[in-house]
Structure 1
Amino acid sequence: MPVLLTLAMALVAGLLMALGFAPYNQPWAPLLGLAVLFSLTAMAPGKGRVAAYGYLFGLGYAGLGVYWIYISIADFGGGPLAAALATSTLIAAFALIPMVALLLGRFAGRQSSSIMVLAALPFAWVAIEWLRSWFLTGATWLSVGYSQIDTPLSVWAPVLGVYGPSLAIALMAGGLAWWFLKPLSLRFIWPVALAAVFLVTGVVLDRPWSQPSGAPLQVALIQGNVPQDQKWRPEQRADILGRYMQHTRAAFGHDLIIWPETAVPAIYHQVAEDWLEPLARDASQAGSALVVGAPIADPAGDGLFNGIVAVSDSPQFYYKRHLVPFGEYVPLRDFAGGLFDFIGAPLGDFNAGTSATPLSVAGHQIGASICYEVTFGAELLDGLPDAEILLNVSNDAWFGESAAPWQHLQMARMRALETARPMLRATNTGVSAIIDQQGQIQAQTGLFEESVLQGQVVPHTGGTPYMRWSDWPIAIGSLLGLLIAGSGRRRGYRLFHDV
């Protein structure tokens, strides 16, 4: 096969991967994309070609998957030039991830091309997905398992987290690649058998992992749709607060009323006494609890936090624990100085919170997260099993009308499915949503519309296997799979013939 054709195939396979995620929602595409990539890797004449395949695949994968980084920086940061430089740099860095996975799988399966595609490459792919979830503060965006949220493979999420569906797709892609390498054989039976095993096992796993712990709560999520370029202007503060207060008063009588991330366009204590506390007292008299997103100056003088406040005479606070690098703080700021100012990095840093203790609101325990935090499944477990409802507040105005808000919602749905807890997602510009304990959307808003999303949520208690095990079974299992794949031929195990 001509070299240029195989290189082009690797790039197209990466583009296919990105089509599996929202808003494209083509769950078959990652299966085919990985199968093509694995088969190219098995046929590659050397490590250099494998690296080229992995890198081109990564460019297509990230280029279509996270192109919206350009919008964030161009419109709200350092402008088009800075956006082009930063986006191309980040995509180029992301492309190293699949390259490393392929090189690792190629090395582990070097004794047998069959073992390489059937085991070494799938386990290497998932091991690297897990590694990138925490390495250098972590990045979980575009993990393959998210693309399967609406397929039968999603039943593996409450057991193994998002990496359960990832492993299923990677193993089936390996089986499909094995057939690609010798399409005139009966090898097609293998990917079909693998799919059947996962689907039949899934029938056993398809069960309720939690139980209702109370009557349904009536909720109202207020989507203010405040433009990002107006949000922090002092002259707009009264109008923005007035908008939220008007919607809040119209929603009195709901058990829970929620404002999105940093909906309060000021430091919390600057507006609490005159605006928020009187509103919360009126809400309480109407039978409603008020929860708002706001920047919070710590009373102990420990700095500024991105927070959530259950407003009352004795307010409860949650401080965001996992901050966005270069968005909410600049790593090594003292060393880097103003190096990152050109991309619109913050002039000052938020501090990171340390507690995941749920908020006690409306008679129930609510596990809080802010924006980017909802993409880290293992971290959301810190507030469980006590939390009966999950809450995520966010401001996705930075992303414009791109794929990012829909991808973000897809990840929030996965957190609900992993923990068997309903999720309330309140955003400034969309997509706000009420998600049930099975990860299904019960109600949602559109993008860039001012609205109040009303509905009900049923608190749940109980635990999933993932809540107990976190990512450790996947991490340990993937590493063991690589070791076994690497030693299989030397021990004389010849279950499959090479190409």
Structure 2
Amino acid sequence: MTMQRPSVLRLLAAVLLGVVAALGLAPTGWWWLTLAGLAALPAVLAPIRRPRGQGLVGWGFGLGYFAHGLFWIIEPFQVDVARHGWMAPFALLFLSGGLALFWGAAFWGAARLARRADFRPFALVTCWTLAEYARSYLFTGFPWAQFSQIWIDTPAALALAWIGPLGLSFLTLAAGLSLGVFLLRFVTRHMRLGGAWPWLLPPVGCAALAGAAAALALPLLPVEPAGGRVVRLVQPNAPQQEKWDPERNAVFFERQLAYTAAAPRPDLIVWPESAIPWLLEDADFALAAIAGAAGGVPVVLGAQRDGEGRYYNTLVYLDAEGAVAGLYDKHHLVPFGEYIPFGDLAARFGLHGFAAQEGAGYSAGPGPQVLGFGGIGAGLPLICYEAVFAHDVNAAPERPDFLIQITNDAWFGKRSGPYQHLVQARMRAMEQGLPLIRAANTGVSAMIDPRGRVTASIALGQAGFVDAELPRPLPPTPYSRTGDLPLFLLLLLGLGAIRAGQRARSGAARRGKRD
């Protein structure tokens, strides 16, 4: 029996499957439930005939997935509850519903493209992956919660070095949906359960995946020896509500100075994003205090700076003498967080970016930039949100010796956001075959090796510092050489093959009727 559009129960089932699928993301990391959610989708889709109805199911699945996976988005609105708390549910609803539109469009497009049922699974995997491309690139991009992120603690994550996050997402979709189609056909053709099979498929799929879970979720190989250079990660643990409080920010600054001065001396000291509460132009006294505490060791820190009336979120490199020897301005800003579209006009109505403490918001820097960091080599700076974008890291003008991320994850709360952000930093290391230095205000600060393994860390919500050896880089990975383009071209070829195959089948069917 087929239907024109999904019933309310089927739409609710799609939303629930999306919620279940999001349990594969950090901090739970139950990747088998993501596969189970994908495997159950064909059962929901099978009776729906029209593309519009299938698109609605895809949107419902995305709504549940993003609402659960991105629930941390309410945290920035809790920093000043009196002013912004009422916005939190609307932000979660609009963000989840908006991102789900990409998936709804993919389901609609797959149904339009593949009129024959035997082509639909391949068409859906292809269109869904293309929708993930669009989500990663369009409107400044937001690739958070990609399916590839569920594999971070399994050997499957090593594929990131070859095919990148979108390629691994493609394989995840192919595996989950193929399993679902197989189970659907098996149940309906051999067990003859009639109309009951849609509701039996999720537990059957979960049971089938239980054995695979034990085989794939193996620990990664032991950590290899590091490269000899020692980096100190400083984590002051300044809650966002107190970070800019004049009565408290001196406490956090002194705390970072004490961690910086501790013996023994490392080769580099890294403070987190916006680590000092003063504009860089007004912070000579602070930089002198930092240099004094460092005792001849170079320091990296985050600060805000004024560039002729434009304000920038900046990474500052202080050399062994305490002089500013390098600056990097964040170029991929958070919409509505660090800037407001048409910000100069919006500022007249009192609308400002959440994170910007000066002016109407931050201005964007010129783009990815490799900086020299003294004796430990050249690094590619990433400030907070920039570690989410694999293609931005690939756009570096030259290959660095390491990646270095400074971030203020206090905005993300203490639930899922900081852990998901850490997962994405680990993915960037694996994709590039490079170690990654990560200093976070409230955590998780970590040293990450080129295979994405955390070799040293400071837990979320703790103040302290850790000295860690900087791992050696691996040779350039295939993904670092090619980026996302090869898979994109293959997906376009796949769309063409689907159309050609359908036309050939239709032509053969017409000739058979004439004969």
Q: How does 1:171-250 map to 2 (within 5 A)?
A: 171-184=174-187, 215-250=227-262
Q: How does 1:420-499 map to 2 (within 5 A)?
A: 420-460=433-473, 462-492=475-505
Name the CA distance, whole Å, in 1 between partners of 2:132 and 2:483: 15
Larger deviation, residues 336-345 vs 62-71: 336-345
Name the CA distance, whole Å, in 2 between partners of 1:430 and 1:436: 18
Amino acid at match of 2:335: P
- Across the aligned residues of Structure 1 and Structure 2, the Cα RMSD in angstroms comes to 3.0
CA contact (8 A) 2:52 2:108 kept: no
Larger deviation, residues 28-37 vs 142-151: 28-37
Give 1:417 deviation, angstroms: 0.4
Aligned to 1:341, the other structure's residue is in SS state coil
CA contact (8 A) 1:252 1:283 kept: no
- Is it true that 1:310 corresponds to 2:321 in the alignment? no
CA contact (8 A) 2:102 2:131 kept: yes
CA contact (8 A) 1:232 1:266 kept: no
CA contact (8 A) 1:240 1:265 kept: no
Amino acid at match of 2:418: P
> Residues 170, 322 of structure 1: CA spacing in aligned structure 2 closer, same or farther, 3 A cutoff?
same
Aligned to 2:467, the other structure's residue is in SS state strand
> Residues 12, 155 of structure 1: CA spacing in aligned structure 2 closer, same or farther, 3 A cutoff?
same
> Residues 267, 164 of structure 1: CA spacing in aligned structure 2 closer, same or farther, 3 A cutoff?
same
> Residues 180, 226 of structure 1: CA spacing in aligned structure 2 closer, same or farther, 3 A cutoff?
same
TM-score by length of 1: 0.87
Match of 2:338 in 1: 328
Name the CA distance, whole Å, in 1 between partners of 2:149 and 2:443: 19
From 56, 60, 69, the counterpart of 1:65? 69
Give 1:424 deviation, angstroms: 1.1
Name the CA distance, whole Å, in 2 between partners of 1:279 and 1:74: 32
Name the CA distance, whole Å, in 2 between partners of 1:483 and 1:35: 26
- Is it true that 1:270 corresponds to 2:282 in the alignment? yes
Give 1:296 deviation, angstroms: 1.8
Larger deviation, residues 27-36 vs 324-333: 27-36
Amino acid at match of 1:310: Y
Match of 1:291 in 2: 300
Amino acid at match of 1:140: P
CA contact (8 A) 1:31 1:169 kept: yes
> Residues 160, 338 of structure 1: CA spacing in aligned structure 2 closer, same or farther, 3 A cutoff?
farther
Q: Deviations over 1:195-247 (max 9, x none)?
A: 9xxxxxx9xxx99xxx99x9321111110011212222334443332221111
Name the CA distance, whole Å, in 1 between partners of 2:275 and 2:290: 15
CA contact (8 A) 1:109 1:116 kept: yes
From 91, 95, 110, the counterpart of 1:90? 95
Name the CA distance, whole Å, in 2 between partners of 1:439 and 1:493: 48
Give 1:324 deviation, angstroms: 0.4
CA contact (8 A) 1:262 1:295 kept: yes
Q: Deviations over 1:385-408 (max 9, x none)?
A: 531111111101112112100100
Amino acid at match of 1:441: V
Give 1:429 deviation, angstroms: 0.4
Give 1:343 deviation, angstroms: 9.0
Name the CA distance, whole Å, in 2 between partners of 1:328 and 1:377: 20
Aligned to 1:17, the other structure's residue is in SS state helix
Aligned to 2:161, the other structure's residue is in SS state helix
CA contact (8 A) 2:242 2:249 kept: no
Match of 1:16 in 2: 20
Q: Deviations over 1:351-407 (max 9, x none)?
A: 111142322113201111000000000101233653111111110111211210010
Name the CA distance, whole Å, in 2 between partners of 1:465 and 1:159: 5
> Residues 398, 458 of structure 1: CA spacing in aligned structure 2 closer, same or farther, 3 A cutoff?
same
> Residues 383, 344 of structure 1: CA spacing in aligned structure 2 closer, same or farther, 3 A cutoff?
closer
> Residues 152, 473 of structure 1: CA spacing in aligned structure 2 closer, same or farther, 3 A cutoff?
same
Name the CA distance, whole Å, in 2 between partners of 1:342 and 1:439: 36
Match of 1:75 in 2: 79
Greater relative contact order structure (CA < 8 Å, 6+ sep): 1
Task: State the aligned residue count.
Answer: 471
- Is it true that 1:51 corresponds to 2:63 in the alignment? no
> Residues 74, 234 of structure 1: CA spacing in aligned structure 2 closer, same or farther, 3 A cutoff?
closer
Give 1:342 deviation, angstroms: 9.3
Percent identity for Structure 1 against Structure 2: 32
Amino acid at match of 1:437: P
Q: Deviations over 1:84-112 (max 9, x none)?
A: 222222222122122111111212222x2
Amino acid at match of 2:44: L
Give 1:449 deviation, angstroms: 1.2
Name the CA distance, whole Å, in 1 between partners of 2:245 and 2:412: 20
Q: Deviations over 1:71-128 (max 9, x none)?
A: 2113346332122222222222122122111111212222x212111x1111111111
Give 1:350 deviation, angstroms: 0.7
Aligned to 2:286, the other structure's residue is in SS state helix
Give 1:155 deviation, angstroms: 2.5
Amino acid at match of 1:435: I
Match of 1:198 in 2: none
Q: How does 1:359-398 map to 2 (within 5 A)?
A: 359-363=371-375, 364-383=377-396, 385-398=398-411
As a proportion of its length, which structure holds more helix?
2
Rg larger in structure: 2
Amino acid at match of 1:172: A
Give 1:34 deviation, angstroms: 1.9
Name the CA distance, whole Å, in 2 between partners of 1:11 and 1:226: 37
Name the CA distance, whole Å, in 2 between partners of 1:19 and 1:457: 32
Q: Deviations over 1:412-444 (max 9, x none)?
A: 010000000011111000111111100111122
Amino acid at match of 1:293: G
